[in-house]
Structure 1
Amino acid sequence: MFNTPQYRELETFVRSQDFWRDCELLWKTETGSTNDDLKLILSEIPEYRQHLLLAEHQTAGKGQLGRKWHSEAQQSLTFSFSRMVNLSENDFPLSLFTGVAIMRALDKAGGDLSDVWLKWPNDVWIGKRKFSGVLVEVVHSMTLSAAVVGLGANIMPMHGFADSASLQEILPSFGKIDFLKAFLRAFADLYAVAPVDLAALWKSYAGNFWKADLEITDHSTGEIKRARAKDLSSDGTLIVDIKGKPARITSASIRPVFA
């Protein structure tokens, strides 16, 4: 669980970071969904301010495509943060940034990443088990459009969920606050990358995206295809091989298929 010294440690860290310094830091013991809470807050404020909302426990956490995200009060880290977006933007680059930031945070902390990989665009897996998930949603009001980025990560082993991996497996001495600080620092560094340099950034992390074959479900047709990840394009979309032919994936339900 979080405690007062941890909160003060996090607040001190946030105020020391240029990227996060002015954000509103909120902390809840329990809530349904930090994303839902933050979307409501942003829809009601007259003027945008960046927020970072943490919860010790989520009872109705959300994943991609309406799936549930399961967490336990003392085992997981769940939080959401906001960024202003232009009406013409989609949430894809932000989604990809978040997944890569998780990988960078683990790497900078000295974790053994030999079995860690990214299921495009942002789920982090350890071997055949999921460590973290990300959900990006956009909220519009009369005065603003903002993206809400929700992240859930298993810090300790999850009871009753054999397909879940935890931070303890690769960084046993790393706690919730340690990981959160490492992520916030990594995200800020990545967000500062100039647009002209993004292609090189995606290329540098491309090798983290294929540790398994993929089962891809097309959102528009419902068609399911077996594919193998091959590369990331200059804009971060996934390039796969489907029956010997290359294809670009921009939006789809992707499930890893293990031998």
Structure 2
Amino acid sequence: MYTDLNRPPLGAVALRRALVTTDDSSGFYSSLDVVAETGSTNADLLARAADSALDRAVLIAEYQDHGRGRHARSFVAPPRSSISVSVLLRMPGLPLDRMGWLPLLTGVAVVNALRSVAEVDAVLKWPNDVQIDGRKVAGILAEVAATAPVPSVVIGVGLNVTLTEEELPVPTATSLQLADAATTDRDTLARAVLRELAAQWSAWRDDDWRTDALAADYRARCGTLGQRVRVELPADRELLGLASDVDDQGRIVVRPDGGGEPVAVSAGDVTHLRPQV
């Protein structure tokens, strides 16, 4: 029995009915499970990925006590205050050099879902943080389960829904409730995110895993473009300049302060800076 009436549990049965394929439905996913608590939904699905028959499986946790973000950063939120969901996707025929596009595609899906049902002005901070008014509302973590015989990835999304200011993990975060979203109903949000992920993934597969259209969709939603940025690079190096493009490999292209050739960055922490005066 839950005690916080403002944070009801997810309706697993209704979510399965809406999203999972059955004999009389056209759902995308093969299974959907909601657990009360786990360490990490990504870790749980990675452990199950050895079963080659498992595909398009969804795992949602009401609470994670070892949630992870990029660079092994921890993420913990009060029970039923967020959506912590992971999906195992197998992608026959996907060129391995394009696997890095899946988290960016997921970012596009989350932005589309939030703009549609939550009616917030969500944008992407490169590579795949979702922001509202410059504050992070969702993070995405993709982890490779296998590269052969079929490329397989577990993609995780953590979406802040009803967190208060006091509950935010960092001051630069936000939640849909704090952003005055049109809805904070987690069932509605979970359905929207998972349906949009299915639509984006299916369109990518049907386009033979080409990246032209996906890159264009990403650029249209990327709030980093046109911003002056600091990129923290390996070996304690940093790059300052204007984020001018996202190339067809998903790299952020930065025009360095003081001139010089544009630099394409495949990995690094980006901070949006105020314009120089």
Short-chain TM bin: 0.7 to 0.9
Q: Which moved more, 1:130-139 or 1:200-209?
A: 200-209
Question: RMSD in angstroms over aligned alpha carbons?
Answer: 2.6
The yes-or-no answer on 1:253 pairing with 2:269 is: yes
Q: Which amino acid aligns with 2:38?
A: T
* 2:56/2:89 contact within 8 Å kept: yes
Q: 2:4 maps to what in 1?
A: none
On the 8 A contact 2:137/2:174 being kept in 1, the answer is yes
Please report the TM-score for the alignment, with normalisation by the length of structure 2: 0.80
Please list, as runs of the form range in 1=range in 2, the aligned pairs for 1:125-204 lying within 5 A after superposition: 125-140=131-146, 145-158=151-164, 159-161=166-168, 162-168=171-177, 169-191=179-201, 192-193=203-204, 194-195=207-208, 198-204=211-217
Q: Give the one of 240, 243, 255 matched to 1:226.
A: 240
TM-score in terms of structure 1 length: 0.86
Residue 255 of structure 1: how far off its partner (Å)? 3.1
Q: CA deviation at 1:228?
A: 2.4
Pairing of 1:112-131 with structure 2 (within 5 A): 112-113=120-121, 116-131=122-137
Q: Distance in 1 between matches of 2:104 and 2:161?
A: 21
Q: Unpaired runs of 5+ in structure 2?
A: 1-6
Counterpart secondary structure, 1:210: coil
Match of 1:213 among 201, 219, 228: 228
Aligned to 2:3: none
Residues 139 and 14 of structure 1: CA distance in aligned 2, closer, same or farther (over 3 Å):
same
Look up the SS of the partner of 2:96 in the other structure. coil
Q: Distance in 2 between matches of 1:186 and 1:46?
A: 25
Task: Give the AA of the match of 1:11.
Answer: R
Contact 2:103 / 2:140 at 8 angstroms: preserved in 1?
yes
Q: 1:106 maps to which residue? A: 114
Question: 1:96 matched to which residue of 2?
Answer: 104
Q: Pick the structure with more strand per residue.
A: 1
| Higher deviation after alignment, 61-70 or 140-149 | 140-149
Per the alignment, residue 237 of structure 1 pairs with 251
- 3-state SS of 1:57 partner: coil
Percentage identity across paired residues of the two chains: 25
Query: Aligned partners of 1:25 and 1:131: how far apart in 2?
Result: 24
Q: Mark the CA change 1:216 to 1:149 in structure 2 (over 3 Å): closer, same or farther.
A: same
Picking from 15, 33, 42, the partner of 1:35 is 42
* 1:113-166 residue CA offsets vs partner (Å, 9 max, x unmatched): 1xx321112101112321000000012399765200011010012434232211
User: What amino acid is aligned across from residue 58 of structure 1 in structure 2?
Assistant: Q
Kindly indicate whether the alpha-carbon contact (under 8 Å) linking 1:28 and 1:54 is maintained by their aligned counterparts in 2.
Answer: yes
How far apart in 2 are the matches of 1:120 and 1:72? 27
CA change 1:258–1:7 in 2 (3 A) is: farther
Give the length in aligned residue pairs.
Answer: 253
Q: 1:79 aligns with which of 72, 82, 85?
A: 85
- Alpha-carbon distance, 1:254 to partner: 2.3
Amino acid aligned to 1:188: A
User: Following the alignment from structure 1 to structure 2, what is the Cα–Cα distance between the partners of residues 46 and 106?
Assistant: 32
